[in-house]
């Protein structure tokens, strides 16, 4: 796979890799979704913005460069590729403006690093990223998508709840989490 591969979400909600025919339709969207390999400049750019936002909220002030580097090291995302997962990035005019990662497990997947830059919130990008992440799970036969987060990340909690995620009891012991969500995905198989 190349470091960047465009995926599209059509107006009827279908998601998948963009074909030459769908690229022009998809290009009409302001922000395109791309599957990006972790560690590439585009991926690192948006993950650093995500870490800055989350760490600054945790500390109640702007996180220092050292705190951001520690957060970046303590939450690696290099497994979000190949059979281990997928990393989706919303790109507008060559700039990463949102992201969502999925870590594939045995019969379930975990959503991670869901983020939209503040100046792009409220435009539907978060929902599009979730939809693409869910489709990646369904494509692999995964029917359960779960995540952990914090209540202070109000925008994220609202996004998950709007998109059908239900609060559940803790399924891990993440020290920074105080909310857990789960969604059973519709695979279309009856």
Residue 189 lies in a domain: no
Residue 40 lies in a domain: yes
Distance of CA 37 to the CA centre of its chain: 13
Tell whether pTM > 0.95: no
Domain CATH for 107: 3.40.630.30
Tell me which residue range forms the domain holding 105. 4-184
Residue 190 lies in a domain: no
Residue 48 lies in a domain: yes
C-alpha–C-alpha distance, residues 119 and 142, integer Å: 33
Note the pLDDT of residue 72: 83
Q: CA dist 128 to 76, 77, 93, 115, Å?
A: 24, 21, 18, 12
How many other CB atoms are found less than 10 A from the CB of residue 14? 11
Tell me if 112 sits within 8 A of 78, measured CB to CB. Answer: no
C-alpha–C-alpha distance, residues 13 and 118, integer Å: 24
C-alpha–C-alpha distance, residues 181 and 22, integer Å: 33
- Phi-psi region at 93: left, alpha or beta (left = phi > 0; alpha = psi -120 to 50): left
* Total number of domains in the chain: 1
Written as tens digits, the pLDDT of the chain (190 aa) is 445 455 543 333 334 443 333 333 333 346 899 999 999 999 999 999 999 998 888 888 999 999 988 888 888 899 999 999 999 999 999 999 999 999 999 889 999 999 999 999 989 999 999 999 999 999 999 999 999 999 988 889 999 999 999 999 999 998 889 999 999 998 776 5
C-alpha–C-alpha distance, residues 39 and 54, integer Å: 19
């Amino acid at each position: 796979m190349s470091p960047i591969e465009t995926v599209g979400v059509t107006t009827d909600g279908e998601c998948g890799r963009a074909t030459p025919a769908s690229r022009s339709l998809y290009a009409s969207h302001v922000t395109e979704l791309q599957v990006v390999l972790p560690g590439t400049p585009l991926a690192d750019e948006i993950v650093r913005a995500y870490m800055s936002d989350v760490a600054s909220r945790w500390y109640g002030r702007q996180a220092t460069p050292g705190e951001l580097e520690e957060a970046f090291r303590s939450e690696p995302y290099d497994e979000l590729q190949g059979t281990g997962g997928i990393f989706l990035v919303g790109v507008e005019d060559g700039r990463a403006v949102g992201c969502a990662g999925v870590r594939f497990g045995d019969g379930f997947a975990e959503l991670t690093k869901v983020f939209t830059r503040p100046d792009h919130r409220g435009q539907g990008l978060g929902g599009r990223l979730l939809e693409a992440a869910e489709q990646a799970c369904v494509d692999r036969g995964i029917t359960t998508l779960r995540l952990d987060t914090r209540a202070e990340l109000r925008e994220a909690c609202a996004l998950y709840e709007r998109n059908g995620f239900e609060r559940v009891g803790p399924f891990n012991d993440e020290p920074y989490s105080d909310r857990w969500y789960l969604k059973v995905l519709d695979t279309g198989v009856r």
